[in-house]
Homo-oligomer: A and B are copies of this chain.
Amino acid sequence: MEQTLLKPFKIIENAHIDQPKGFTAGGVHAGLRRSKLDFGWINSKVPATAAGVYTQNTFQAAPLQITQEALKQSDQLQTIIVNSANANSYTGEQGYQDAVQMQQLAAKKTGVDPSLVAVASTGVIGEMLPMNLIKEAIARIDENKDADAFEHAILTTDTKTKHIAVEVEIDGKPITIAGAAKGSGMIHPNMATMLSFITTDAKVEAESLQHGLKQSTNQTFNRITVDGDCSTNDMVLILANGMQNNETLHQKHPEWNRFMEAWQFVSRELAKMIAKDGEGATKLVEVTVEGTETEEQAAQMAKAVIASSLVKTAIYGEDANWGRIVSALGASGVPFNKNSLSIAIGSERIIEDGQLLSFHEPNCVEELVKDTVQLFIGLKDGSEKATAWGCDLTYDYVKINASYRT
């Protein structure tokens, strides 16, 4: 956030996923969960150019399969429907047919072709969807047109909704990019391991949109970890409906970078919200590694630190146990020159050029009690860098996951 004032886009306060022109969203209580909203939708007034990235888990849930098939047909989407509480994953042929039926019913209800409807599900694996409840919910699309309701309906163990919107001037038009996401458990940086939806009223060429989505996901959603588990259901979708009538954006457009920067910001802030709201988390942890040969190496080291249970528990305990950071870096699989290693916790420098400094422990604790704990790792093997985000590991993580299903 620190640099946003300098950036060529502005954050729209209290804005939701329906902020870009021509988008509506809503959510209802389908009855999959006791009382919380559990079924939501996003709708665009016109077909939107769309792109998606999907979990790399071998077991891709049924809704991901049919969403990929839909996108292949025309690179367009107009409607997204989402249910929480049940992942419709590992549900075999019946699960696949259920996802197809969801797509068809939603298409009929919103008056679009089924190939323009994306389906997403999140929740318990291996249980059949109660299709009677799903059907009733689909019939109620448009009943509760409220983007906040959508953002609530997609949550599972999340404690709060995650949404953001920015405005960026492109081709003289006030382009809006908005995002909503859910995270909490099974979050690990191996492809998009959560549900995240991004809407924009920009007109964007399909191939560039897919390229931009891969790039931005790689540097944001793929850089967060809560517990190292990679879910079967997670995806990121972007819909660009072109309602601002800008000259079509593409990778070689002079304003592409400006657009990407705004988009990247939306993705990064959503990713950080997901990490901060990881199951049981009390803190956001941000690890930056600088000075590697490749960005990939920096990312791998940052993710190794953020994924270490011992680092995570030490941060929860507000204990400046930097030895665990050293150990996690050493086990990251990335070779590096140990004599150039520097480590700082916030503004407190611990190690410099491989030498342990006589740091002041209370200063470290001051950094560790913050809502966002920042760790900096410096090397001198190159000029690349990367940041990864995670959270602390707490009693509540165990509590939530020892009793999630039953």
A399 within 8 A of B: yes
How many protomers of this protein does the assembly include? 2
Whether the pair A402, B229 counts as a contact (CB closer than 8 A) is no
Cβ–Cβ < 8 Å partners of A332 in chain B: 58
Q: How far is the CA of A123 from the CA of B291 in the complex (A)?
A: 30
Whether the pair A399, B395 counts as a contact (CB closer than 8 A) is yes
Q: How far is the CA of A335 from the CA of B57 in the complex (A)?
A: 10
Whether the pair B124, A327 counts as a contact (CB closer than 8 A) is no
Q: How far is the CA of A124 from the CA of B313 in the complex (A)?
A: 15
Interface size class of A (residues with CB under 8 A): 35 or more
Residue of B nearest to A365 (CB): B406
A358 within 8 A of B: no
**In the complex, which of the residues B228, B329, B399 contacts A309, with contact meaning CB atoms closer than 8 Å?**
B228
A119 within 8 A of B: no
**In the complex, which of the residues B87, B230, B338, B395 contacts A59, with contact meaning CB atoms closer than 8 Å?**
B338
Cβ–Cβ < 8 Å partners of A402 in chain B: 313-314, 316-317, 319, 394
Of residues 310 through 352 on chain A, the ones whose CB sits less than 8 Å from some CB of chain B are 310, 313-314, 316-317, 319, 321-324, 326-332, 335-336, 338
Q: How far is the CA of A319 from the CA of B335 in the complex (A)?
A: 40
What are 20 inter-chain pairs, A to B, with CB distance below 8 A? A58-B335, A59-B327, A59-B338, A90-B323, A90-B326, A90-B356, A126-B322, A185-B310, A227-B310, A229-B324, A230-B330, A230-B331, A231-B327, A232-B330, A313-B397, A314-B404, A317-B401, A321-B404, A394-B398, A395-B399
